[in-house]
């Protein structure tokens, strides 16, 4: 996630649950199979499931069906203060397909952008992979491993983001550290990322009711609270049909951490918080190859392809420090090497190393908060703790996704190094436009595999 806290936007007029568990709709996690490989062509299928993030769920009174939260506002009688609110409000089960446009089939997960349900219009979604228990997030350590999936984003236009990434959420959603959280991972609680999002309704077992101390951007479907929820984040894939980025981001803290004030790094204090909001991104277009990935290009986004990401360590073992993140693609049976950087002042890098990150920040004149907060070694330390797999589809109320697919920031000349990131128009990505013009936009993630380097493709 590059700039914003708005990972989600949704409008809800009917149902919602707090940190208690509601029972008006049974929670039944859609099944998704993944594969763990031990060597090439030697993979075992694992039956797993996914869970919808709690923020999207109907939050209502434990005693009935009164909304605790509507649009972007809390009900002041059910929620007079953060702890009472957590006691009074329950998160309910989800109708994944009918309300949220989330469906699975075998090893494929499909996320549809806008869904008109019986009571509500839902915008975007975010889901997590659960482990065999169906009640905890599966934990990944990808050091000296590779992670592979197929992507179909042919129906994902400018302004949208079909994202697959890892964050250092608690495996139980935080329910053992914060006992007021009764819902746990089974209801998708405990989200965090390096943007330290302020739109999370419950953080550390309390409702995030208090007003922010900074000026939040307006989203009719998501409010902002005083606190943010921060943690390390490894963005394997942030993309639409016009471009893609792979981006490690790190924080000075381990585990999900609630921030307030300066620690959140809001507004003008972007580089003063505990997390590296920019990260160290490899976006082929931004790194100088505008012919590499897109409709009809070398990696052709008009059809499905395979994305392989390798996490190499200093000693080629899990015990080593993370030293390099490599990317390759497979399409129509052909392995496609990553593009090479073609930027004045930089060597021809085709992977993410600390040397690449430092050279890129210098060439683009960007602040190097990635290095300051620990660089790849810190990203690897987060994998050692265990990271949770996230898949989402979202639009961007803060920065219109221009940081991914257009020119960004707009107050710089687009011919300056690093400003042009993709071919989309500077006027694209306005949420009201994409929501009205592309409601059927869909991303399909499938065929997830993980295992030792070279085992998954
Ligand atoms: C790790 O593996 C690579 C590729 O096989 C090799 O070039 C490198 O020397 C190895 N490093 C160590 C420390 O064994």
Q: What angle do CA 106, 112, 115 make, to 5 degrees?
A: 125
pLDDT of 217? 67
Q: Are 279 and 2 in contact (CB under 8 A)?
A: yes
pLDDT of 120? 85
Question: Which residues does the annotation mark as catalytic?
Answer: 233, 238
Q: How far is ligand 1, taken at its centre, from the CA of residue 143, in Å? A: 14
Average of per-residue pLDDT across 246-263 = 97
Residue 233 has pLDDT above 70, yes or no: yes
| CATH superfamily name and code, 6-452 | Glycoside hydrolase, family 7, domain (2.70.100.10)
Residue 16 has pLDDT above 70, yes or no: no
Mean pLDDT of the chain: 94
Q: How far is ligand 1, taken at its centre, from the CA of residue 251, in Å? A: 28
Residue 17 has pLDDT above 90, yes or no: no
Q: Closest residue (by CA) to atom 3 of ligand 1?
A: 316
pLDDT of 218? 67
Residue 167 has pLDDT above 60, yes or no: yes
- Sign, CA dihedral 246-252-256-257, equals negative
pLDDT of 20? 85
Q: Closest residue (by CA) to atom 1 of ligand 1?
A: 316
Residue 413 has pLDDT above 70, yes or no: yes
- Binding site membership of 316 for ligand 1 (Cβ less than 6 Å): yes
- Binding site membership of 315 for ligand 1 (Cβ less than 6 Å): yes
Q: Tell me the pLDDT band of 71, cut-offs 50, 70 and 90.
A: confident
Q: Tell me the pLDDT band of 222, cut-offs 50, 70 and 90.
A: confident
Which of 191-215 are b and which e, b meaning 16 or more Cβ less than 10 Å from the residue's Cβ?
Answer: bbbbbbbbbbbbbbbbbbbeebeee
What percentage of the chain carries pLDDT values higher than 90? 88
Q: How far is ligand 1, taken at its centre, from the CA of residue 315, in Å? A: 7
Distance CA 378, CA 383 (A): 9
- DSSP element (H, E) containing 363: helix 354-364
Q: How many CB atoms lie within 10 A of CB 432?
A: 10
pLDDT of 11? 40
Ligand 1 atom closest to residue 315's alpha carbon, by position in its atom list = 13
What tens digit of pLDDT does each residue of 335-346 get? 999 999 999 999
Which of 373-412 are b and which e, b meaning 16 or more Cβ less than 10 Å from the residue's Cβ?
Answer: bbbbebbbbbbeebbbbbbbbbbbbbbbbbbbbbbbeeee
Q: How far is ligand 1, taken at its centre, from the CA of residue 316, in Å? A: 6
Query: Which segment of 21-30, 93-102, 132-141 scores lowest on mean pLDDT?
Result: 21-30
Among 146, 310, 312, 316, residue to substitute to test ligand 1 (most atoms within 8 Å of Cβ): 316
Ligand 1 atom closest to residue 316's alpha carbon, by position in its atom list = 1
pLDDT of 274? 98
User: Burial level of 265, CB count in 10 A (0-12/13-18/19+)?
Assistant: buried
Strand 59-61 versus strand 305-313 pairing type:
unpaired
Q: What is this structure's pTM? A: 0.95
Q: Tell me the pLDDT band of 117, cut-offs 50, 70 and 90.
A: confident
What tens digit of pLDDT does each residue of 279-288 get? 999 999 999 9
Question: Residue 98: helix, strand or coil by DSSP?
Answer: helix
What percentage of the chain carries pLDDT values higher than 70? 95
Q: Closest residue (by CA) to atom 2 of ligand 1?
A: 316
What tens digit of pLDDT does each residue of 357-388 get? 999 999 999 999 999 999 999 999 999 999 99
- Binding site membership of 377 for ligand 1 (Cβ less than 6 Å): no
Average of per-residue pLDDT across 40-52 = 97
Q: What are the structural domain ranges in the chain?
A: 6-452
Average of per-residue pLDDT across 263-273 = 95
């Amino acid at each position: 996630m590059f700039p914003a806290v708005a990972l989600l936007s949704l409008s809800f007029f009917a149902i919602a649950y707090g940190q208690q568990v509601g029972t008006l709709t049974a929670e039944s996690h859609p099944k998704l199979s993944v594969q763990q490989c031990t060597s090439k062509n030697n993979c075992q299928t694992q039956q797993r499931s996914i869970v919808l993030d709690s923020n999207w769920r109907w939050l209502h009174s434990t005693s009935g069906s009164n909304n605790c939260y509507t649009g972007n506002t809390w009900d002041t009688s059910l929620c007079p203060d953060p702890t009472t609110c957590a006691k009074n409000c329950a998160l309910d089960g989800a109708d994944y397909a009918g309300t949220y446009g989330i469906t699975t089939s075998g090893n494929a997960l499909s996320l549809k952008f806008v869904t008109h349900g019986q009571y509500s219009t839902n915008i975007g979604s975010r889901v997590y992979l659960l482990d065999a228990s169906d009640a905890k997030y599966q934990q990944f350590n990808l050091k000296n491993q590779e992670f592979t999936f197929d992507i179909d984003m042919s129906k994902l236009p400018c302004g949208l983001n079909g994202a697959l990434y890892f964050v250092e959420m608690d495996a139980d959603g935080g329910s053992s550290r914060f006992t007021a959280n009764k819902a746990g991972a089974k209801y998708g609680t405990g989200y965090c990322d390096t943007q330290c999002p302020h739109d999370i309704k419950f953080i550390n077992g309390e409702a995030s009711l208090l007003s922010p101390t900074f000026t939040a951007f307006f989203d009719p479907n998501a409010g902002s609270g005083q606190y943010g929820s921060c943690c390390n984040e490894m963005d394997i894939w942030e993309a639409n049909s016009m471009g893609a980025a792979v981006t490690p981001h790190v924080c000075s803290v381990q585990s999900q951490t609630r921030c307030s004030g300066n620690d959140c790094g809001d507004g003008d204090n972007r580089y003063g918080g505990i997390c590296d909001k920019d990260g160290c991104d490899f976006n082929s277009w931004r790194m100088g190859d505008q012919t590499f990935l897109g409709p009809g290009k070398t990696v052709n986004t008009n059809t499905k392809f395979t994305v392989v990401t390798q996490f190499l360590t200093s000693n080629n073992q899990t015990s080593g420090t993370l030293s390099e993140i490599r990317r390759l693609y497979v399409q129509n049976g052909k392995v496609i090497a990553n593009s090479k950087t073609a930027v004045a002042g930089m060597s021809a890098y085709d992977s993410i190393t600390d040397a690449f990150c430092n050279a890129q920040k210098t060439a683009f004149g960007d602040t190097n908060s990635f290095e300051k907060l620990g660089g790849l070694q810190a990203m690897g330390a987060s994998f050692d703790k265990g990271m949770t797999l996230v898949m989402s589809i979202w639009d961007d109320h803060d920065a219109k996704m221009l940081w991914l697919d257009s020119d960004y920031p707009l107050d710089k000349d687009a011919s300056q190094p690093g400003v042009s990131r993709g071919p989309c128009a500077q006027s694209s990505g306005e949420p009201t436009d994409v929501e009205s013009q592309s409601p059927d936009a869909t991303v399909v993630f499938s065929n997830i595999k993980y295992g030792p380097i070279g085992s998954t493709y």
